[in-house]
Structure 1
Amino acid sequence: MQGMNFKVNDFRGKTPYYILNSHDDFLTAHPEESTAIFKSDEDLKEIIEVTYAMNFNVNKFRGKTPYHIQNSHDDFLTAHPEESIATFESDGDTKGERAMFYVNRYSEYDSGNGLPVVFSCRVDNKNYLLSAASNSVSLKEGGLPSEIPTKTSEFIFYIIEFSTARNALRFESSAVQKFCLAWSVQDTKKMLVLNPYHEDAINERMSFFIEVPSNIPPPK
């Protein structure tokens, strides 16, 4: 049918959307008047663009709630600490704690252009941190650092908007400059790896979504 070519999965519920009319006016809510009107104010547009670019930079990531991390093929990041690796698997959501990662914010860290976080997981009552060093990615057993004062760390990643055209995120390593988490097929496995990031080239294998598992209430 004409006009019905959008995909339901395009709307994932975790990103705010802006509704524009044919004149590029923005739909703006006025609950005090129980109305919604379209506005074309340039000041409003500037605020909206800034808000959109930073919509993931919120207090939702506090390390208390586990998340599913999915790639653009809807595979789930799954921890294999016995091999010190993480892979993307289509049935990862059935792997329990192995597919649940905590996003721990480090607001005191010198973040530069993104939200600085440490990814961690718990498997068999042991804590593991996602590490990026020497162009490789691994899981290392250990507790969360109380602080990370240096400007580079194997554990710190910047959460950054993937692109202005996609409601997705990319994760840039602070230890290996201009390298981001990505997935690569190795021996039939979709391995979590580091790949160089280029501003002029869109690499969909660096595109990720962070979701709260359906059986866990979202963080407050």
Structure 2
Amino acid sequence: MKNITCMIVEDEPNAMKLLEDYTGKIPFLHLSGKCYDAMAAVSFLQNNTVDVIFLDINMPSLTGIEMAAMIPKDQKIIFTTAYSEYALDSFEYHVVDYLLKPITFKRFMQAVNKLQSFMQAEPEESETSAMPGFLFVKSGKQVHRIEYASVFYLEALKEYIAIHTPKEKILVYKRMKDVAEVLPPQFVRIHNSYIVNLQHIRNIGSNMVQINEQRLPVSNSYRGLFQQRISERMW
């Protein structure tokens, strides 16, 4: 298992100690640095790199959101905060997850596992460039050729998946998990029941996306990955 380097940025000593203890319980998680204020963290990152930052939002002088704007956009971040209303503010950054205080070890481990999944799922450039722009799917007795660009979203319907396109809805006997593993990077899962094509998103809210006139929910389980993909295309 690949080691993951991290740093903790937290102004509360008790919260810092808790995150240090949690980090020490995970063999593949290596603590490379800790800072009690954001400016010290920015300085640390000028000469050091880490895979992820456990970053408190509410800090004096410089908040976690403000610090995130000062560091490279591809830096992965797990926010630690007592508030949940910062979700929209962080779409610009590679936010993997939010840990709402008080943080349990179980919830901390879930965030680390999600980080692992994101890092393993990041496609190599050569793989992305070689991927064709279409797929063939079998629906009933017919085989359909579907251009990826024409797919609005995929919807889980019990043992079937509905592929929504401008012209039709195609039912395929597949599991959502299997389909998610072979789709190109412009597709991202936002919910147990939905995978969306980023190219067709019109609006993003705190808990939903809009594709054409359809509003689809974004669940907490997939919010981090969705925000990461959005941040890669954010101006």
> TM-score, normalized by length of structure 2?
0.28
> TM-score, normalized by length of structure 1?
0.29
Give the number of the structure whose residues are more often helix, by fraction: 2
Larger relative contact order (CA 8 Å, sep ≥ 6): 1
Give the number of the structure whose residues are more often strand, by fraction: 1
